[in-house]
Chain A
């Protein structure tokens, strides 16, 4: 792979030149750690939704990026999506973290998919749809990813407005208290141990058939039921 290495400033200038007024603030940051203080460089670019996909294409032309993840923040009237992408990896200390941030007004939460450019992006896009309630236009797979099928529609866990997690969905651990009226814990019978060790198991798998034998010794499920 032949790469033309550009500095973060050159890349920032390239974006400003190409998209002009369509991109907002461009920030180049540097951070260093260790004794030698090797610099770690990042560029933060705020782009408008209209040119967002072209901006991703532009980045692909510079160097095919690794998409770290897509972050999302509820800003009140808007939702901001941040695409954390990395270029120039594989060269010592040369990597640049390029973050493209897009603001979406809550009245129109649509963003084009980038899964046609970076196929792996669909995973993170699915997560953003369910967690923030945005709509990724033309997403190849629009199913939920992490939320269970019985999770209510129209509730988006990362939102901080009325569509976020409702008070009645939260179970505070401190409010649960200690359970009362529990039966005394069953004491494991000692003979069983000797029986188990007789057929010397060669794989952990063999311990599994032994499990049903244990169950009659622990009659807790039934007793718990009686309490209710």
Chain B
């Protein structure tokens, strides 16, 4: 089928910057020595959409809705980072209540993203019962997000100068019910993921990255924190309501007493962050100030303020996968003179090179997945063995990974 398509009309597609936070295909090349990975190389960029190119030809109010569509999972991260950059340039003061609304929705996004990842990780190990359970539990946060914003995926809630919908008091009982649900289920999830012998065998001392490497390779988010690098934009540069909330970054040693920087630690960090998010949302509900949620109700006025603005700013936020950075420069024209989007996986991909070295082929799926990248990454993997190059499909790799789990389970 794909061959037929290739023969069809050729397309000229403007190639822009990275498709930032991604479900993108990536080509890996592994140099193998027997079962051992000797060298790793990867080529991203198989599905560019030229988002930045498009953005530099649109005005900020239009771009906000474009940023919603950069990633299917981080629906709010990119729009929030972009809006924060534009607000700094145009010196728009966001109402206090809007900061809390933004924080609540960002934390729900973290819950659903981390649980989605946990399910995928379980699937990569061949533990599909847990995969289904994790995704079942994740559904609760998706329901609440839909209840609050009207959408499951592209929330469309952030606007330059605030948010487009308020969360009202009569919605709080539903939010509270979901927080209660997650508190009840958290112990079970932690037990299933962290106490399971098979998961421990597969994940401990697999894909190790030291704190020094994490710093030097510019890694971000849970990937960096699992290696013991205390780095969390919410804590370091408190944006939105995070400056008012009481929390500290989640590090593996808080749970385990020590930091290994392996795949297991990355599971620990993400699961504990789900628990932390529940607490943060509750703090927001308790301290939510009253008032407007948008700086100016008339969108043309927001647009006029953006058009007049000149200057440059960086909007950074902590997306579920790590730091998300938008650089915007306005020069008095409607469209930004420069717009750079950096998603979390952009920073984390370099860490694969070290993590995968010395691992077995069967460990590739879980190690690749452990930084929470796009799952279609493993779609096409080329293994160079001597002169011959074998292409392993995702199904092949998954089979190898499941077989290894079963082998370990039998021996023990």
Contact = CB atoms under 8 A, between A and B. Distances in A.
Contact of A99 (B126, B237, B314, B402): B314
A131 B128 CA distance: 42
Interface in B233-281: 233, 235-244, 249
B117 interface: no
Interface stretch (B14-22, B69-77, B197-205): B14-22
B217 A165 contact: no
B338 A71 contact: yes
Contacts of A157: 14-17, 50, 53
Given A33-B99, A148-B45, A66 B230 contact: no
* A66, A169, A202 interface centre (most CB from chain B within 10 Å): A66
Contact of B237 (A40, A44, A131): A40
Interface string A163-177: 001001111000000
Interface in B346-374: 346-347, 349-350
Interface stretch (B182-190, B298-306, B321-329): B321-329
A35 B215 contact: no
B349 A158 contact: no
Contacts of B381: none
B379 interface: no
B235 A215 contact: no
Contact of A66 (B84, B96, B218): B218
Interface stretch (A49-57, A103-111, A119-127): A119-127
Interface residues of A, number: 65
A90 B119 CA distance: 29
Interface stretch (B5-13, B138-146, B172-180, B384-392): B5-13
Contacts of A97: 237, 314, 316
Contacts of A95: 233, 236-237
A31 B18 contact: no
A45 B390 CA distance: 49
Nearest to B328: A71
A82 interface: yes
A93 B11 contact: no
B216 interface: yes
A37 B219 contact: no
Contacts of B137: none
A217 interface: no
A73 B243 contact: no
Contacts of A199: none
B15 A170 contact: no
Contact of B327 (A69, A119, A171, A224): A69
A91 B5 CA distance: 53
A93 B45 contact: no
B62 to A, nearest CB: 14
B45 A165 contact: no
Contact of A34 (B88, B126, B240, B346): B240
Contacts of A165: 14-15, 53
Contact of A92 (B126, B218, B235, B342): B235
B17 A131 contact: yes
26 contacts: A31-B313, A33-B238, A34-B238, A34-B239, A35-B241, A40-B239, A44-B312, A67-B218, A68-B218, A73-B329, A86-B236, A90-B229, A92-B236, A97-B314, A99-B314, A119-B217, A120-B347, A127-B18, A145-B43, A147-B15, A157-B15, A171-B12, A171-B13, A203-B126, A204-B123, A221-B1
Interface string A43-85: 0100000000000000000001011110111100000001010
B289 A35 contact: yes
A66 B238 CA distance: 17
A91 B398 CA distance: 41
Interface of B: 1, 4-5, 7-9, 11-18, 43-46, 48, 50, 52-53, 84, 88, 94, 96, 99, 123, 126, 128, 215-220, 229-233, 235-244, 249, 287, 289, 312-314, 316, 323, 325, 327, 329, 337-338, 340, 342, 346-347, 349-350, 395, 398-399, 402
A37 B99 CA distance: 11
Contact of B325 (A74, A84, A131): A84
Contacts of B337: 73
A72 to B, nearest CB: 7
A89 B15 contact: no
Given A68-B323, A170-B12, A33 B243 contact: yes
Contacts of A151: 15
A118 interface: yes
B316 A89 contact: no
A68 B316 contact: yes
B128 A123 contact: no
A147 B314 CA distance: 25
A151 B220 CA distance: 30
* B7, B43, B230, B312 interface centre (most CB from chain A within 10 Å): B312
Contacts of A203: 123, 126, 128, 398, 402
Contacts of B346: 69, 123-124
A29 B89 CA distance: 11
A69 B316 contact: no
Contacts of B17: 127, 131, 146, 157-158
B266 to A, nearest CB: 18
Contacts of A204: 123, 128
B215 A64 contact: yes
A120 B316 contact: no
Given A67-B218, A157-B15, A202-B128, A146 B230 contact: no
Contacts of A99: 314
B14 A169 contact: yes
Contact of A84 (B9, B43, B46, B327): B327
A170 B395 contact: no
Nearest to A121: B218
A158 B53 CA distance: 7
